[in-house]
Amino acid sequence: MKDFYGRTAVLTGAASGFGLECARIAAREGMNVVMVDVQADALASAAEEILAIAARVDGGGGRVLARRVDVAKAAAMEALAAEVQQACGAPSVVFNNAGVGSGGLVWENSVKDWEWVLGVNVWGVIHGVRLFTPMMLAAAAADPHFRGHIVNTASMAGLVNPPNMGVYNVSKHAVVSLSETLYQDLALVSDQVHAHVLCPFFVPTGINASHRNRPGELSDPDAQPTRAQLINRAMSEKAVGSGKVSAADVAAKVFDAIRGNQFYIYSHPQALGSVQTRLEDVVQVRNPTDPFAARPEVGQQLRAALRGG
């Protein structure tokens, strides 16, 4: 797709991070922008900004719809899809981007932890795919000029398995698998609708504060974080906070990938060495390589902290 003007973009997690930055680009391109998020106040503020951007577009900008939706909820996503179809028709870009973070040793996560993370990170993407893909395919069948793109946000944690963040790794590996399968399935039935997967590394997006939006029914106010979870939180905040690639940089890469029909989208291509090592472990039937092999002092510090040494 080269021309976005007048087309529709649906973006989840649109009140911050990658979602908001992609909404800014979509608005500048003259698209109708459907902004979806679970945080009402942040969404209202973001939507006001996007409306202002749309108003400055030469020739008139697109519509802006802001909807508070929990992407993990099937009925809420079904209602959203029906409203988008009625208001704007089939979207040309769907960015299944909403995501949350959680860490700790993999056996320490509670059932509620798993339900929350998988609900947003996996079921949110599943709902976006199952609801908007048929809409796009129908539009493609009716119009040979229609082009559709589905972008799913995974993570580099969907391509490798760093320790002490298992629940997040599992969710993002699922998104990579879903996206790769979607790409292959679409290729069987259409040349007009395409899939992409975004695998960012450490980028300041606000995901470390995602617990603020955790539903009450999936929270345990009496639960105390374990030592491993506290360590994970501190390491993640440091790594994300010091990231040199911005969310705006990544959003530009997303739109470049859509224009070029590029499936894999990376914020930090230099991190792919770890992916290659993992794949070599698999192919060579080799035990998983120490993730701290290049920085053994970090691994030593983490092991000592977890073992109480």
Catalytic residues: 168
Ramachandran assignment for 36, one of left (phi > 0), alpha (psi -120 to 50 degrees), beta (any other): beta
Give one word for 206, left, alpha or beta, with left for phi > 0 and alpha for psi -120 to 50.
left
Beta carbons of 140 and 146 less than 8 angstroms apart: yes
Q: Count of CB atoms within 10 A of residue 291's CB?
A: 18
Q: Is 188 exposed, middle or buried (0-12, 13-18, 19+ CB in 10 A)?
A: exposed
- The DSSP string of 194-261 is EEEEEE--S--SSGGGGGGG--GGG--TT----HHHHHHHHHHHHHHHT-SS-HHHHHHHHHHHHHHT
> Counting runs of H as helices and runs of E as strands, what totals does the chain give?
10, 7
| Helix, strand, or coil (residue 10) | strand
In this structure, what token pair is assigned to residue 127?
Answer: 């709902």
